[in-house]
């Protein structure tokens, strides 16, 4: 039998299973919390920090997606300090690379754009870095634009955990970090890529898109990840 624990969430007592994370419980309680690196069906990274919450007794905000629940926790999700923190994170993401929405293939369908709008980000207080980053259009079907990548690693995780190819990985540290294919080969020269397109569909921005897509045309479908995981777990495709 699953162990049931009790915690306080925004002043209300709620129950949870011991194997759940704070994000699981927050979503179960229908509380809206922004995320970018999280995706149902993939392992958690805790990298974007947008789901940060205040836990009584903790010295700093904690990422809800990678924080397991524990008995007696007191958690707050929407304090003025947390809202200011999330706006800062979004502004830093927008300033780090060249997120110019007006000419992006995912304009109107971008998760970073949505999160910024919901958080009330109308301007960026930090200096734009505008790094001169390349695009990789060597693949026959898809394009990688490093200028719009936020290093959420969804592409890395879906390729490894769902497709099983592990074509994608990270290289470099800090501001020099990049997603790469096969030890930094051009994507089109990758011997491990299956051209399945899962990485493109899970990307939250316009960093990965289909060739031929123009401004605001690229929409992405995320539900397939949960569908695949559910089918494998329940062995629905075993004959």
Per-residue pLDDT of the chain (239 residues; tens, 9 = 90+): 578 999 999 999 999 999 999 999 999 999 999 999 999 999 999 999 999 999 999 999 999 999 999 999 999 999 999 999 999 999 999 999 999 999 999 999 999 999 999 999 999 999 999 888 999 999 999 999 999 999 999 999 999 999 999 999 999 998 899 999 999 999 999 999 999 999 999 999 999 999 999 999 999 988 888 888 888 877 776 55
Residues 148 and 217: their CA atoms lie apart, in Å, by 16
| Burial of 237: CB neighbours in 10 Å, binned 0-12, 13-18, 19+ | exposed
What pLDDT is attached to residue 238? 56
| Cα separations in angstroms, 87 against 27, 70, 92, 126 | 21, 28, 9, 12
Q: What are the residues facing 4 on neighbouring strands?
A: 17
What pLDDT is attached to residue 223? 86
Residues 95 and 129: their CA atoms lie apart, in Å, by 6
What pLDDT is attached to residue 237? 61
Residues 235 and 239: their CA atoms lie apart, in Å, by 9
Cβ atoms of 67 and 21 closer than 8 Å: yes
Enumerate domains of the chain plus CATH numbers: 4-78 (3.10.20.740), 104-234 (3.30.70.20)
């Amino acid at each position: 039998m699953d162990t049931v624990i009790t915690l306080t969430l925004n002043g209300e007592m709620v129950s949870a299973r011991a194997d759940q994370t704070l994000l699981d419980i927050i979503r179960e309680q229908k509380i809206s919390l922004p995320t970018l690196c999280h995706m149902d069906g993939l392992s958690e990274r805790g990298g974007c920090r947008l789901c940060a919450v205040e836990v009584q007794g903790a010295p700093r905000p904690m990422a809800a997606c990678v924080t397991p629940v524990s008995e007696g926790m007191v958690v707050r999700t929407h304090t003025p300090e947390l809202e200011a923190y999330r706006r800062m994170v979004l502004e830093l993401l927008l300033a780090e690379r060249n997120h110019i929405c007006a000419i992006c293939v995912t304009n109107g369908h971008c998760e970073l754009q949505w999160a910024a709008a919901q958080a009330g980000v109308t301007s960026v207080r930090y200096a734009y870095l505008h790094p001169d980053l390349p695009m990789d259009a060597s693949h026959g079907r898809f394009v990688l634009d490093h200028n719009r990548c936020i290093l959420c690693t969804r592409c890395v995780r879906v390729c490894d955990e769902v497709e099983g190819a592990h074509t994608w990985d990270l290289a470099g540290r800090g501001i020099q970090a990049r997603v790469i294919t096969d030890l930094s080969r051009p994507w089109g020269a990758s011997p491990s890529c299956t051209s399945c397109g899962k990485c493109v569909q899970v990307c939250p921005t316009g960093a990965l898109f289909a060739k031929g897509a123009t401004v605001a045309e690229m929409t992405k479908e995320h539900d397939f990840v949960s569908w695949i995981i559910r089918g494998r777990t329940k062995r629905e495709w075993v004959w």
